[in-house]
Structure formats: C-alpha cells, structure tokens
Chains A and B, each alone.
Chain A
Amino acid sequence: EAGVVQSPRYKIIEKKQPVAFWCNPISGHNTLYWYRQNLGQGPELLIRYENEEAVDDSQLPKDRFSAERLKGVDSTLKIQPAELGDSAVYLCASSLGLVGAFFGQGTRLTVV
C-alpha cells in the first residue's frame, strides 16, 4: 500500500514569493492533516479535513495561508506571500478516523 505522498521534498524561495505544497493521502483515509514542524519541536497542526470539509483551521494563519482538498482526496497548502519565519518542514498526514495518523515525508521549506 502506498503511503502519504508529498511534493516537493524541498523548496527554497525568496521572501514575498508564493509557494504551494501538494499531498496525496493514503487511499480511503477520510481525515487529512497539514502540520508545520520547526527544528527540535513537535508538529503543529495547521488544518484538518474530514473528507473535503475543513473542520479545524483555527491554527492556520489565514492572512497568508490557504488550503484546499478537492473531492476529498488530494490537498494543497499555499503560502502567499512567504515570510522568513515560514521556514519549516510542512507535513501532511492522513488517517481513517482518528486512530494513528500516517505522515508523508514532508516538504522542507527555506525562505531566504
């Protein structure tokens, strides 16, 4: 069974530029999460989807971050414009219900 697939693996952009991350969850997993992880810290939830509905986006900085999950499968996370403080690893995870989230390998974003 294929795991959670994320792309790109690495991204370097200049500040004020836009950036987008893509996630393909495990087939059949209705719950999808986007997390941000800074070095030496635990994952920080940005948004959670149940199917195509964003049910928890309270931690998403909505002035510059946006996300969508078309048809309840793939998802994209966008930052526009990026700031230096956005440098982090962006992790996508999926689960069937709430038992055990399976993570993708993440996108390491560097804003210069």
Chain B
Amino acid sequence: GQQVMQIPQYQHVQEGEDFTTYCNSSTTLSNIQWYKQRPGGHPVFLIQLVKSGEVKKQKRLTFQFGEAKKNSSLHITATQTTDVGTYFCASDMDSNYQLIWGAGTKLIIKP
C-alpha cells in the first residue's frame, strides 16, 4: 500500500544542537503535514505544505517540501528541552482524503 517513510526513528542531540527528520515517498504527494507529539500527549498540528519547493518557518523550525513533492524535511535549529517529543509527517498522498502517517522521529535531548 501507499507509504510515507520517515527517518531516523530516533535522534539523540545535546541541547543547542540541530535536529532534522525526513519523510520520503515513492509517489508524488499532494501535500505534507507535520505534527508534534509530546511524551504522553496527543499529536499537535504544526503546518501543512502544498507547493513544490515550498519552505516555511516557525521560529526555530524550518519545513521544506521537495521540488518533486516526494520528500519533506523538518529542521530544528538549536534544540531546547521544550522540543522533546515525536515528530510525525502525514500526507493524504493523492488527495483521496486518507491521511497516511510516517512512523515518527523521536527527538531526545541528552542529559
């Protein structure tokens, strides 16, 4: 079936280091959404990208949608303890309104 592959599964960083998670698909995506889920919490919608090559920023977070609309990335600059959680990408692939979710990347701040 249709899949969105997300890597890495985990990323351990020192506070202040950068973090990046990637989502890839073998087929063209109509859009990509990003969510954050804190430990013990529920997914919280961050942003949606729809245009080829689109780049959006939210403070220290930068979201990119590839030119071919087959990949996307979320980059966090200078991580803080408040960034801890799992970041998910999701897409309705070919606009059939069925959101397909990546497996998530867990951001862990080293003590």
Contacts and interface: CB of A to CB of B under 8 A. Distances in A.
Contacts of B104: 41-42
Contacts of A56: 97-98
Closest 9 CB pairs of A and B: A42-B101, A100-B45, A103-B42, A103-B43, A42-B104, A106-B42, A105-B42, A42-B103, A42-B88
B45 A101 contact: yes
Interface of B is mostly: loop
A91 interface: yes
Interface residues of B, number: 17
Interface of A: 33, 41-45, 48, 55-56, 91, 93, 98-106
Contact of A104 (B42, B90, B99, B103): B42
B43 A98 contact: no
A100 B42 contact: no
18 contacts: A33-B99, A41-B104, A42-B88, A42-B103, A48-B97, A48-B98, A56-B98, A91-B42, A98-B97, A100-B33, A100-B48, A101-B33, A101-B99, A102-B45, A103-B42, A103-B43, A103-B45, A105-B42
Interface in B33-51: 33, 41-45, 48
